A = this chain, B = another copy of it.
């Protein structure tokens, strides 16, 4: 459960250096959506010789290889998460916390709309913003909260 990224990198045919391994490991241990700076700090706890430039360059490589994805949280920085199955982000406008959810209905709808517009859907980015109900009556459909 901890070597996922490393294995994916190898499978993707990437040249693995000690730095990339450290970054991969830091990503494996990141269950949130760190930006480059935060990932830099986490990676440095594993291998303190890594530079921020390498973090950026490696994230670019990983992204192009489809191993990580950018998430736009709306704070001006690029955040990253390891590529997993399709899911969406709901941002709590009061504290910036990100809640994840999945909705097949949503993806189906998007693909249907794109289709009607003459396009083949390749991907989408969605961030939903909301604030907690006063009455937290009902909870969760298929959510992971990190």
Residues of A at the B interface (CB closer than 8 Å) are 72, 74, 90, 92-93, 99, 101, 103, 105-106, 109-110, 113-133, 136-141, 143
Question: A105-B109, A109-B105 in contact; A139/B122 too (CB < 8 A)?
Answer: no
Known: A109-B103, A109-B106, A126-B126. A118 touches B132 (CB 8 A): yes
Indicate whether A117 sits within 8 Å of B140 (C-beta atoms), given known contacts A123-B129, A124-B126: yes
Residues of chain B lying within 8 A (CB to CB) of residue A114 = 90, 128, 130
CB distance from A143 to the nearest CB of B (A): 6
For the complex, what is the distance from the CA of A117 to the CA of B103, rounded to whole Å? 12
**CA–CA, A81 to B127, complex, Å?**
18
